[in-house]
Structure 1
Amino acid sequence: VKDGLKEFRKLDLNEVDILLASYGRALHALSSEWPVLDGDELVTPSRAIFEASLLVAESRFEEITEGRLNRKSLDNETAMAVFVLSGWGIKEVRFDVLRKIALALALEWVSKSGNYPIKPGEVAFCPIKKHEYLSFDLLGENARKKGVYSSFVKYGNVLRLVLPEQKHPDRLENPLSDWDRLYGIIMGYRTKSFGGIEEYIARGKIVNLAVVGDLLKLWEKYADDEKLRQEARNIAFFLRQQVDKRW
């Protein structure tokens, strides 16, 4: 599978094609050496596919983040956000494609319309109607009026990343993922410039500032909007003074 990944990258295949091709490699290796044992345990086709998925995901993370982050170091929501951002920016993505990506990350998509805890093996989206996204201030009445708790919204067969201003303030103030913390930093900057960032950090919202800095670097690289990129550069300038790390 590792050798195959090098070949697949040269062919400029998309993420799903690489994933499926890697499954084929894993199953071919398994069938050609059948039966394959791990100690006393028989290696099943489903296990071969699962391990191929993890290998593909880890390899892709190293490429996307230039070795700065890996899959194991990130929570589920952040890991998926990195994949979506790097592949599609802040544009719409077909949900059936992302179901396959979730499989590669050993995750399952779940629908959550309000506040929710992050559970192992899950990544959540908030179901909305398309007109609600096109005019996000209509994003529902009541619980969704101020924004959504998840990092993704889904309408029809389309999913996309929530923008920082579309995230519910409660989730930014009580972050459950590093992606929440990234958006908390961004909204702090928008509110009070560098002082807003300092206040957010001082309130103890950031677990690992270096990780948030690396996510900010990805946001700057892949966000499809020059204003967002310039904003990210401004924030990065400030954060470089806060951590002993070069991005």
Structure 2
Amino acid sequence: MSQVLDAYQGIAELLQERHRQGLASDALIQTLGPATALDGIAPQSVDAVVMDPPYYDNVQYSELSDFYYVWQKRTLSDLYPGWFDDEVTDKQNEAVANPARDGSAKGAKARYEELMQGIFAESRRVLKPEGIMTLMFTHKSADAWETLTNALIEAGWDISACMPVESEGGYSTHQMNMASAASTIFIACRPADRSNRSPSGWAYEVRSKLESAVRECLAEFEVLKLNPVDRMIASWGRALRVYSEHWPVQDGDEEVPPTRAMQEAARVVAEEEVSRLSGGLVTVDDLDAESRLAVIALGINGLGEFAFDDALQMSRSLNFHLQQRNGNYRVSDDLVAYASAGDSERAAPLAIRGNKLRLFKPEERAAQRLEHPQTLWDLLCGLIVLYRDGGIVAARNYLSTHGKRDNAALRGLLKVWANECDEDDLRREALLIDYEL
């Protein structure tokens, strides 16, 4: 109740100055209709367009609204003639991705892009040449961001600024102890002037600028204390700003899609994250896919659970697949496996329960996988288990057997484990192993 009252008070304060000046209250106009056709608004007459668009497939607004609509129709239809003529809310013109309504995920993506492009084009028509459009967007899906960016660019906009702003409370019931995106990305756009713009080269022009922009934004975001998921999404915004400024972007004869810019941003974020967690002792290039995701998972929530969707998004951004593998398997550079928590042979590094993942502790991993490690993370788990069984001599022999006696990256992983695992006994054990090695 206090939040609702605060919101209404803030809105009322925006109008106080107009009342003091004796200006007519009818300067505030409220209309109902599709945003793809802003009838009655003259071209180039608007100073700013402020938009909080539908977040792709996150919420099916009209279907949820029907519950309220039927009651509002009974009580408000006489006050707002024409607003409640339909039996239920309009579904046809709703700009959301709804696979059930549009026949498939591909159809829903196309429909959302079509409607958003129409909305952005109409917004550009009514905006003054020096005007600005701002958006708020919260979504962890690369598909959602790609679709929104395509719609913006095709409608004639450049992204001029991006900044994460806190939009979810840390004690929100669907955010607490989760790695979900708790920040909304605030996007500012300007009408694009592409009359003299020629295609930009990805390899020699755009990629280096994009990398610099992402590294700069990560330094800026330090004060915001974003979780790794939010850092990833916020970096997409900066990458897409560079991309839109240079659009169209080409790599040879092929056009570069927005997802390429987002993948490059994800690579830079992963590099920075691994380097931060290890104190510069480990780089992304030192790690295989499973070890890379294990390190980032530690940084997200220690040994606690995190959302499967977060891991799925990171896997897509870093170009590998998440697959369930119960039992032993052979690893590859494009695969990260997870297993059921109750599986008797837990070769995979990740455990799944419902829609949550967590890292298996070393003692939970399959003995065969640790005896014949395939990844650096396997070696770390094997090292810890052997140290418990036979002390530092057994641990050294284990590393020597696998040719990793003086491996700097493995020592770096051990430090990450010590710094990020959230159990004091495990932390002390890791520090002691590192000291004795």
The two structures have a TM-score, normalised by structure 2, of 0.49
Within 2, Cα distance between the matches of 1:106 and 1:8? 25
Counterpart AA for 2:421: A
C-alpha distance 220-48 of structure 1, shift in aligned 2 (>3 A): same
Offset, 1:39: 4.8
C-alpha distance 6-204 of structure 1, shift in aligned 2 (>3 A): closer
Within 2, Cα distance between the matches of 1:87 and 1:106? 19
Q: Which residue of 2 aligns with 1:52?
A: 265
The 8 Å contact of residues 53 and 106 in structure 1, kept in 2 or not, is answered as no
Offset, 1:186: 0.8
Once the two structures are superposed, the pairs formed by residues 123-142 of structure 1 within 5 Å of their partners are: 123-128=336-341, 139-140=342-343
Q: Secondary structure at the match of 1:185?
A: helix
Match of residue 155, structure 1, among 333, 341, 353: 353
Q: Does 1:8 align with 2:221?
A: yes
The 8 Å contact of residues 57 and 104 in structure 1, kept in 2 or not, is answered as no
Q: Which residue of 2 aligns with 1:242?
A: none
Q: Which residue of 1 aligns with 2:324?
A: 111
Q: Which residue of 2 aligns with 1:132?
A: none
Counterpart AA for 1:116: Y
Match of residue 95, structure 1, among 294, 305, 308: 308
Once the two structures are superposed, the pairs formed by residues 178-189 of structure 1 within 5 Å of their partners are: 178-189=376-387
Within 1, Cα distance between the matches of 2:420 and 2:239? 31
Counterpart AA for 2:306: V
Match of residue 197, structure 1, among 395, 413, 422: 395
Offset, 1:23: 1.5
Q: Which residue of 1 aligns with 2:72?
A: none
The 8 Å contact of residues 286 and 409 in structure 2, kept in 1 or not, is answered as no
Identity %: 36
Q: Secondary structure at the match of 1:96?
A: helix
Q: Which residue of 2 aligns with 1:136?
A: none
Within 2, Cα distance between the matches of 1:113 and 1:205? 28
Q: Which residue of 1 aligns with 2:295?
A: 82
Q: Which residue of 2 aligns with 1:63?
A: 276
Q: Does 1:177 align with 2:375?
A: yes
The 8 Å contact of residues 125 and 152 in structure 1, kept in 2 or not, is answered as yes
Q: Which residue of 2 aligns with 1:211?
A: 409
Within 1, Cα distance between the matches of 2:367 and 2:350? 15
Offset, 1:55: 1.5
The 8 Å contact of residues 346 and 364 in structure 2, kept in 1 or not, is answered as yes
Q: Does 1:22 align with 2:238?
A: no
Offset, 1:167: 0.8
The 8 Å contact of residues 19 and 104 in structure 1, kept in 2 or not, is answered as no
Q: Which residue of 2 aligns with 1:225?
A: 423
The two structures have a TM-score, normalised by structure 1, of 0.84
Q: Secondary structure at the match of 2:352?
A: strand
Structure 1: give runs of 5+ residues left out of the alignment: 129-138, 240-247
C-alpha distance 198-208 of structure 1, shift in aligned 2 (>3 A): closer
Structure 2: give runs of 5+ residues left out of the alignment: 1-213
C-alpha distance 196-52 of structure 1, shift in aligned 2 (>3 A): same
Whichever structure has more helix as a proportion of its residues is 1
Counterpart AA for 2:257: T
Q: Which runs of 4+ in 1 moved over 6 A?
A: none
Match of residue 435, structure 2, among 237, 240, 243: 237
Within 2, Cα distance between the matches of 1:25 and 1:198? 45
Higher mean alpha-carbon deviation, 8-17 vs 217-226, is at 8-17
Within 2, Cα distance between the matches of 1:152 and 1:217? 20
The 8 Å contact of residues 228 and 299 in structure 2, kept in 1 or not, is answered as no
Q: Which residue of 2 aligns with 1:131?
A: none
The 8 Å contact of residues 95 and 158 in structure 1, kept in 2 or not, is answered as yes
Give the alignment's Cα RMSD to 1 decimal: 1.8
Within 2, Cα distance between the matches of 1:127 and 1:20? 29
Within 2, Cα distance between the matches of 1:2 and 1:51? 11
Counterpart AA for 2:291: T
Higher mean alpha-carbon deviation, 118-127 vs 202-211, is at 202-211
The 8 Å contact of residues 173 and 205 in structure 1, kept in 2 or not, is answered as no
Offset, 1:190: 0.8
Using CA pairs below 8 Å that are at least 6 residues apart, which structure has the higher relative contact order? Answer: 1
Structure label with greater radius of gyration: 2
C-alpha distance 38-213 of structure 1, shift in aligned 2 (>3 A): same
Within 2, Cα distance between the matches of 1:21 and 1:86? 17
